[in-house]
Amino acid sequence: MAINPYDEMFKNIARIMEKILSDMPLQDPRIIGFTIISGPPEGVPYYPYEEEEGPEFEVIEGDDCIFITAAVDTRAQGAPYVTFQNNSVTLCVGGDEETVIDLDCEIDIPHSFYNVRHGVIDAVCRKKPIQGELVRP
């Protein structure tokens, strides 16, 4: 059997995932999709949302960005999308139903973006800098 040059990389990813899962609370974890974010220290606000009528999504707030992740409804007609407003985000995971997510801060609309990959929609909302605050590049 040929040796795959990526075997070691996959083993490292598996070890990292085992560590992440072992550090999670004992509640019923669900992984919708993931983004590895290095940066914010412990104690950063994390808001999982579960609504009976709307889609399930996660909101993670960092120092200069707010990250929103949701599973795409592959059975729905219509493309998933995100619309950015000053203090909120409109999330559509497919079909006609939209969910408005209110944010605790103002966002920089031109520098916010989203992408859809492998059944997951990820939105990155750049926070608008507070006047007099230094902006990180």
Please give the mean pLDDT across all residues of the chain.
77
Q: Does pLDDT of 46 surpass 90? A: no
What's CA 84's distance to the chain center, in Å? 15
> Does some domain include residue 111?
yes
Domain that holds residue 78: 56-130
Lowest mean pLDDT among 8-17, 55-64, 123-132: 8-17
Closest CA to 74 of 115, 119, 121: 119
Work out how many domains the chain is built from and give that number. 1
pLDDT value for 71: 87
Distance between CA atoms of residues 95 and 112, nearest Å: 23
State the DSSP H helix or E strand holding residue 24, giving kind and residue range, or none if neither.
none
Instruction: Report the pLDDT value the prediction gives residue 112, as an integer from 0 to 100.
Output: 94
55-108 pLDDT, tens digit each: 688 888 888 899 999 888 878 888 899 999 999 999 998 888 888 999 988 999
Q: Is residue 34 part of a domain?
A: no
Distance CA 41, CA 73 (A): 33
CATH number at residue 114: 2.60.40.790
Q: Is residue 28 part of a domain?
A: no
Does residue 26 lie in a domain region?
Answer: no
Q: What percent of the chain has pLDDT over 90?
A: 26
